[in-house]
């Protein structure tokens, strides 16, 4: 009986040992990335522990294997070549391959970090139609004049009877002057100019009569953010670090074909736990735009600069390389942003976590504001700081995107590598071609 108990205990111990051994191998293997992207001339160190070790038969890859002690091995990678890919293996007991690691040596793209405060306009002209409104006429019937005329949310109302409209007040003024007559509307939908006719509906509320079109309209200002970086060679820009998902409180309003303008920060509402703060920015659609938005995606807004000289706002707006994922580390860094007026300033932060992502994701960094001056002014990360470039060791590593609601000193950042990829993809697909507006009647539009 005692012998059986001993055998049972031995079996449990052996099982626990096997499970622990397997878990250790799996954890070590997971800590070694599948892919490493490095710059020419860069040195990179990987380490592992017994029973795992590194192995390579590639003579072109300069690898130095260093046994630190009986159980730890370091691999020093020297990347002297350019635009090459190499492989090495992670082996169990130096014999059984369990993982292959690919090293890509590539020249990093050089960009200019910004930090400039920008206003985002859905359109530089007209007003934005954000929804339909049912109208109860004086005859007690309900009407949808705009919807029945084929006008859609997201259309930009440019003209009424050949009169340009630039704000909500001008639309109301024209309606009052026309006294219910049929109106000829010109709207922009994507790269089309839509011409249609609509008859206002007379309604009465609180003994006051007026004519309505059955639409909700908003001025085209979408909000304040930060320009992340630009490429003076291609005149491309990237900003915000995240998508503009709604406008006027309504989703689905397209921002493509919009523009960015310079914004002036007139104040900051400090962030507190549970209550995110925000920058108070001033801008309008009558300003000369800085650039045109051609893409609004998960990783920010992208477009073409009109005049590159307008974006050099600070002494540290100098070309620097955009870091690869594997080059970012935890520790001190800086962000460039504006908290007063239009002056871009540097502030200290710590990168407290780096997510080693194999493919684009929106949350690649966790950061913490450590700069006493910024904490005093803002309480940490606030709305409007989205897109503020993150700099580490002379490289652009990412952009601020989100704040932790319960701790405004912390937030997320997107990796610069993914923002740069979005910008380059847009360039490759000719996404910056000039917008050709086709004038068509509404019956032929879609």
Query: Which positions are annotated as active-site residues?
Result: 242, 371, 386
CA dihedral angle for residue 380, residue 386, residue 387, residue 389, rounded to 10 degrees: 10
Phi and psi dihedrals of 444, rounded to 5?
-100, 0
Helix runs in 168-327, H state only: 168-178
Cα(79)–Cα(93) distance, rounded to whole angstroms? 27
Residues 406 and 380: beta-carbon distance below 8 Å: no
Question: CA–CA distance from 28 to each of 4, 195, 212, 363, 413 (Å)?
Answer: 36, 64, 67, 24, 26
Cα(61)–Cα(45) distance, rounded to whole angstroms? 14
Residues 214 and 146: beta-carbon distance below 8 Å: yes
Question: Both tokens of residue 442?
Answer: 């509404």
Cα(118)–Cα(165) distance, rounded to whole angstroms? 23
Q: DSSP characters for 26-60?
A: HHHHHHS-SEEEE-TT-EEEEEEETTEEEE---TT
Which letter does DSSP use for residue 417 in this model? H
Compute the C-alpha angle 242/246/251, nearest 5°: 125
Q: Is 430 left (phi over 0), alpha (psi -120 to 50) or beta?
A: left
Query: How deeply is 183 buried, as exposed, middle or buried, from its count of CB atoms within 10 A (0-12, 13-18, 19+)?
Result: buried
Question: In terms of Cα–Cα distance, which of 142, 171, 141, 173 is closest to 157?
Answer: 171
């Amino acid at each position: 009986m005692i012998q059986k108990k001993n055998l049972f205990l031995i079996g449990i111990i052996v099982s626990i040992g096997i499970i622990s051994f397997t878990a250790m191998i799996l954890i070590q293997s997971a800590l070694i990335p599948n892919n490493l992207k490095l710059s020419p001339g860069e040195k990179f160190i990987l380490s592992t522990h017994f029973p795992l070790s590194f192995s390579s038969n590639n003579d072109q890859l300069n690898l130095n294997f260093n046994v630190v002690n009986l159980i730890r091995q370091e691999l020093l990678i020297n990347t002297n070549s350019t635009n090459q890919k190499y492989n090495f293996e992670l082996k169990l007991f130096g014999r059984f391959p369990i993982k292959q690691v690919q090293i890509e040596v590539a020249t990093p793209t050089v960009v200019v970090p910004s930090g400039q405060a920008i206003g985002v306009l859905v359109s530089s002209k007209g007003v934005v139609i954000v929804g339909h409104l049912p109208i109860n006429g004086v005859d007690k019937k309900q009407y949808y004049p705009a919807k029945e005329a084929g006008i859609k949310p997201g259309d930009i109302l440019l003209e009424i009877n050949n009169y340009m409209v630039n704000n909500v007040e001008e639309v109301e003024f024209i309606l009052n002057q026309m006294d219910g007559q049929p109106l000829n509307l010109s709207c922009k939908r994507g790269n089309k100019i839509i011409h249609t006719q609509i008859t206002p509906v007379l309604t009465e509320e609180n003994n006051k009569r007026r004519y309505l079109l059955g639409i909700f309209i908003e001025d085209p200002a979408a909000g304040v953010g930060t320009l992340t970086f630009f490429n003076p060679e291609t005149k491309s820009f990237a900003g915000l670090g995240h998508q503009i998902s709604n406008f006027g409180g309504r989703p689905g309003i397209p921002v493509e074909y919009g523009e960015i303008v310079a914004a002036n920060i007139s104040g900051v509402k400090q962030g507190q736990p549970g209550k995110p703060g925000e920058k108070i920015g001033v801008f309008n659609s009558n300003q000369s735009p800085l650039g045109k938005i051609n893409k609004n995606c998960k990783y920010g807004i992208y477009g073409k600069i009109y005049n590159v000289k307008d974006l050099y706002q600070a002494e540290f707006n100098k070309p620097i390389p955009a870091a690869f994922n594997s080059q970012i580390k935890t520790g001190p860094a800086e962000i460039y942003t504006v908290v007063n007026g239009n002056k871009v300033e540097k502030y200290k932060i710590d990168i407290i976590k780096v997510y080693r992502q194999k493919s684009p994701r929106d949350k690649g960094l966790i950061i913490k504001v450590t700069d006493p001056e910024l904490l005093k002014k803002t309480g940490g990360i606030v709305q409007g700081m989205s897109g503020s470039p993150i700099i580490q060791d002379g490289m652009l590593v990412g952009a601020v995107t989100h704040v932790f609601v319960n701790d405004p000193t912390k937030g997320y950042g997107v990796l610069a590598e993914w923002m740069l990829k979005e910008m380059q993809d847009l360039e490759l697909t000719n996404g910056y071609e000039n917008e050709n507006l086709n004038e068509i009647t509404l019956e032929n539009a879609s």
